[in-house]
Structure 1
Amino acid sequence: MAIIATGQDAYIAVKAEKGDGVYSLLRKQGVDPYETFDDFIALNSENLRDSIHLYEGRTYFLPSVDSTSTTKADKVVAPKLEDRLSYPLFGEGYSDVAIKSTRLKGAVYYLISGHGGPDPGAMTKYGNTYISEDEYAYDLTLRLAKELMAHSALVYVIIQDKDDGIRDERILEMDRDEVAFPDKTIPLNQTARLKQRVEIVNDLHKKHRGQFQRLIVTHVDSRSKGQNIDVFFYHHAKSKNGKKLAESIHNTFKEKYRKYQPNRTYTGTFQDRTSLYLVKKTHPAMTFIEIGNIKNDKDQKRILEPDNRQALAKWISEGVILDFESGEIGPIR
């Protein structure tokens, strides 16, 4: 590790090792990846594969630091203890949530990851191992929950697995011990499962009547192996606020692709899909997100790489903040 001064700024130069991603590299250097991801990407934009991935053995610069300091501990200032909260569901190493801002203060979010319990959702074989939709949708949902909490939102994680937490592995081990908030057994019957989730969300929605409330449902799609898809969004046809939420996140993704992958066109869409049970029956304004095709090789990189799951969570959270700060549209959903 070396300190390199350029003009008024000083940068730490570090070499990427085998298996490093942006988030893991930042964490190893004692830098908060949630705070510095965008700055890191901008600083190293010409030295990244696909505008977001590291090359093994290449040198990368960490965001600006105090040039008079030479130890990692000196360069990272932790938030005050009172600016943190603990959320054990995120798991060991992630349960501590540093509060970044009050930008979502007063907002309530319900997060549902697809399937879970007796239903793994879409499955495919990756190498010699089976992977399933519910594990990856759940990991992304936890990461999103942490991002929203860091901006002072009240967040309900509706599907929970108290053993898993946020995981940094590519292959997430399958299990069937998920429960529905607060500790309800998930039914085997599909209609009963969906009805249970609707009832939980609608009861909470009633409890928080008068507050800004939104629901975000996360799934992984399953299509033919050759079909590469971008992240896309559904909303209720008659929900102006649901459409605005979906559009806000969609626009954030378009901007991120324009900034970080300028040679690639973002083809994700947002559209009404009121026929979906959760879209039709839940009361809060909501968006239903499909993050990729679990069977497609390119989409698997987006889904399996923990750094990519974190980037997705951060981008979604930025769209959520955009939606909240722009206000509601009338009284409709």
Structure 2
Amino acid sequence: MKHNSFTILFLLFLSAFCVAQDSLKTVVAEPGDGILSLLRKQGVNPYEVYDEFVALNHHDLRDSVHLFAGRIYVLPRIKLDTVAIVDSLQLQSKEIKELESDSYDIFGEQHKTVITKSERLKGNVYYLVSGHGGPDPGAMGVYAGKAIAEDEYAYDITLRLAKELLAHGAEVYIIIQDENDGIRDDFVLEIDHDEVAYMNKTIPLNQVARLKQRVYIVNDLYKENRGKYQRLIVTHVDSRSENQNIDVFFYHHEKSKNGEKLAESIHKTFGDKYKKYQPNRTYSGTFEDRTSLYLVKKTHPAMAYIEIGNIRNKKDQVRILDPDNRQALAKWISEGVLLDFEGE
């Protein structure tokens, strides 16, 4: 029996569609469910399919990572490198494709897979610096009777941000690194002192020497990448009075229009997210010039310096310690980066 080319293509599509549908099932989120707990309850290793789950369900996630109780979610069941899926489960398209991904050991065994989302940042270079590290843990706080340190949380958010930027095709330099600490999904992150600077440089104890080292590394890389679109993002956690609850805020160099635009774009993204997801709460985070900060003053790329929250305040600790919230912070920063590059 003869088939014309259209019939053959239709049969191939139908076959692929059926395989895709057979490979995926749905589940209803219950009150209190997070992505990790929902996947575990379904007998799925959450770390193997986390990014795929987010990719499949991104239109139905609050704060980009939180579930809505009572809503239906698509649950991947096949390994990331083999599953065929419908391009849009919201019926926007019927194109079948495979998820493209790369692997990066720095994110840890459970999070090393980076699924390609787009090439919107292809050719762009981003330098990511997490505050403190090595002999200096930075700001300290206490949660559930255990000590918590700024550098561990700033690093975790920075890794999550790096993963988001890589997913959009960016070239990313993680300036402070810890080969033992990938992305971690714990509330209390164990404190250690084995972080190193880019290219395995020992981090000095002296504060000025430590800051100078970071400036030299970033500025040397900036020269190497001359002619490319380059930006720097520095992530810190603040320490203030226990009673002072603060929102995420941003600094930039007073004479850098590009740095101001980057900080403003991320700030705007946070403001928009609060309006959408927390309409009864006013976002009070600011962006302003702060050239007195050493990294703001001395580094060459246009940059945004981010303070995530007050590590000593109980409300801010929820934002900092909850791994889902750290993921949301990274996602929102990445969306601000995209806004900065592409404009409104």
Q: Same fold per TM (> 0.5)? A: yes
- Specify the alignment match of 1:68 in structure 2: none
Aligned residues: 301
Q: Deviations over 1:10-54 (max 9, x none)?
A: 983334486x42455368575624425642236xxxxxxx99866
Tell me: CA distance 1:37–1:305, structure 2 relative to 1, closer, same or farther (3 Å).
farther
Partner of 2:236: 219
Aligned to 1:45: none
For residues 219 and 36 of structure 1, the distance between their equivalents in structure 2, rounded to whole angstroms, comes to 31
Aligned in 2, Cα 1:51/1:180: closer, same or farther, shift over 3 Å? closer
Matched, 1:72 2:77: yes
Tell me whether 1:14 sits opposite 2:5 in the alignment.
no
Amino acid at match of 1:267: S
Counterpart-to-counterpart distance in 2, 1:23 and 1:267: 30
8 Å contact 2:60–2:67 — kept in the other structure? no
| Cα gap change, 1:36 to 1:251, in 2 (>3 Å) | farther
| Alpha-carbon distance in structure 1 between the residues aligned to 2:274 and 2:57 | 15
Determine the C-alpha separation between the residues in 1 that align with 2:327 and 2:233: 16
1:267 shift after superposition? 0.6
Go from structure 1 to structure 2 and tell me whether the alpha carbon gap of 1:73 and 1:86 turns closer, same or farther (over 3 Å shift). closer
Say if 1:73 and 1:87 are closer, same or farther in 2 by CA, change over 3 A. Answer: closer
- Alignment of 1:183 with 2:200, yes or no, is yes
Counterpart in the other structure of 2:318: 301
Q: Matched residue of 1:62: which SS?
A: strand
Question: Given the alignment, which residue of 59, 67, 72 partners 1:61?
Answer: 72
> Which residue of 28, 31, 38 corresponds with 1:25?
38
Closer/same/farther in 2, CA of residues 86 and 54 from structure 1, 3 Å limit: closer
Equivalent positions of 1:168-317 (< 5 A) are 168-317=185-334
Give the TM-score normalised by structure 1: 0.83
User: Partner of 2:8 in structure 1?
Assistant: none
How far 1:93 moved relative to its partner?
A: 1.5
Question: Once the two structures are aligned, what percentage of the paired residues are identical?
Answer: 65
Cα offset for 1:129? Answer: 0.8
Equivalent residue of 2:157, what SS?
helix
Q: Gaps spanning 5+ residues in structure 1: where?
A: 1-9, 43-49, 66-70, 328-333
> Distance in 1 between the 2:292 and 2:194 partners?
29
TM-score normalised over the length of structure 2: 0.81
Q: Residue 127 and residue 74 in structure 1: after superposition, are their counterparts in 2 closer, same or farther (change >3 A)?
A: closer
CA distance in 2, matches of 1:244, 1:23: 35
Aligned in 2, Cα 1:37/1:145: closer, same or farther, shift over 3 Å? farther
Q: Distance in 2 between matches of 1:218 and 1:206?
A: 22
- Note if contact 2:65-2:328 (Cα within 8 Å) is conserved in structure 1: no
Structure 1: which amino acid aligns with 2:28? V
Task: Verify the 8 A CA contact 1:249 1:318 in the aligned structure 2.
Answer: yes
Indicate if the aligned counterparts of 1:220 and 1:290 stay in contact, CA closer than 8 A.
Answer: yes
Question: 1:251·1:319 contact (CA, 8 Å) conserved in 2?
Answer: yes
The yes-or-no answer on 1:130 pairing with 2:147 is: yes
What CA RMSD, in Å, does the superposition of the two structures yield over aligned residues? Answer: 2.6
Rg larger in structure = 2
Aligned-partner Cα distance in 2 for 1:165–1:40: 27
Task: Tell me, in whole angstroms, the C-alpha distance in 2 between the residues paired with 1:271 and 1:92.
Answer: 38
Q: Closer, same or farther in 2 for the Cα pair 1:24/1:149, shift >3 Å?
A: farther
Partners in 2 of 1:51 and 1:99 — Cα distance? 17
> 2:88 maps to what in 1?
none
CA contact (8 A) 1:22 1:37 kept: no
Aligned counterparts of 2:218 and 2:64: Cα–Cα separation in 1:
38
Gaps of 5+ in 2: 1-23, 86-96
